[in-house]
Amino acid sequence: MREEEDYTEEENEELYEHHRIEADAGQKPLRVDKFLQNLLKNTSRNKIQQSAAAGNIRVNEQIVKSNYKVKAGDIVQVVLSYPPREVELVPQNIPLNILYQDQDVIVVHKEPGMVVHPGYGNHDGTMVNALLYHFQNLPGLNKERPGLVHRLDRDTSGIMVIAANERSMAHLANQFFERSTERTYHALVWGNVEEEEGTITGNIGRSPKNRKIYQVYEGDEFGKHAVTHYKVVERLGYVTLVECKLETGRTHQIRVHMKHIGHTLFNDKEYGGDKILKGTTFTKYKQFVENCFSICPRQALHAKTLGFEHPTTGERLSFNSQLPEDMQSLVDKWRNYSHYQSKD
């Protein structure tokens, strides 16, 4: 029996567990839900059946129901939500900006600086702690990451969808896995982006020199395949406002891809964007940029839109949000500066 597992739980990546199992030559016919239950530790048959109901189990590339009989040589693939863990979570009365909710999904606008779920150095005060308080009657909230099917970096603002039940979680996780969601971001980047629009393709993996950041690897030998489409929204002299559309959802994808083409996100401390990368060396300009850093003390990145299929109705839902105050003020300040410079 051969199994390959792709479990991602990095920032800005899908939160799912993808198993690929090849039934060995001696495999006797067995229901696929039972087959998977025997192999996947700490995974209930009910959870596997939920995945089957959401169309997340495939055998030989074909979607199957939970009663399908696995045979020798079959290639079985299943997408599950992240594995449950024993962890104590404390509900906290933290305000959430809820854009939409029903019995299946909750759409929120995450504020910059909010950590999505507890982790090293962030044991509480997270979105998960807030979810536990505001939606304490939702099923499955004893897990470490209730309802999460994707994430945003702590300092990235914008729209997220939360699954309100196990079936919705399986359905949404599959949409992220199949890349059928639509996600666009607005980013302020250093430099005047030459092309009006373009596509960045390059495998992304951890940097061998600094495990906290990522980089683009040439070729396919290292990292994970990543594709970002971008277009210019507004040129502001030494910086450019761009829209990025994700085809994949790798850790720090926009931050890494834009740096790769020479346009690091403004004030992105981990990737060097908190230094003056473009412009003059005059004292007044330096003071202007430092004031801009103070206005938006984070990477200038906002998850502006999110579109997905409703897990129950099948309706296509789409949500759009305005830039948060800090990033809007930053853009306005650069716009005024650019206008002033063009008159000189």
Active site residues: 153
Distance of alpha carbon 328 from alpha carbon 333, whole angstroms = 9
Record the tokens describing residue 107, joined without a space. 């759409």
In this structure, which amino acid lies at residue 23? A
**Runs of H (alpha helix) within 2-53:** 32-39, 45-53
Record the tokens describing residue 241, joined without a space. 């406002």
Q: CB atoms < 10 A from the CB of 64, how many?
A: 18
Q: Is 8 helix (H, G, I), strand (E, B) or coil?
A: strand
| 268 contacts 274 by C-beta, under 8 angstroms | yes
Q: CB atoms < 10 A from the CB of 266, how many?
A: 29
Q: Is 4 helix (H, G, I), strand (E, B) or coil?
A: strand
Q: What would you report as the CA-atom Rg of the chain, rounded to the nearest whole angstrom?
A: 22
| 111 contacts 157 by C-beta, under 8 angstroms | yes
Pairing assessment for the beta strands 316-320 and 301-309 based on DSSP bridges: antiparallel
DSSP bridge pairs for 281: none
CA 259 to chain centre: 18
Distance of alpha carbon 104 from alpha carbon 102, whole angstroms = 5
Distance of alpha carbon 77 from alpha carbon 308, whole angstroms = 22
In this structure, which amino acid lies at residue 196? E
Record the tokens describing residue 334, joined without a space. 């650069």
Q: CB atoms < 10 A from the CB of 103, how many?
A: 10
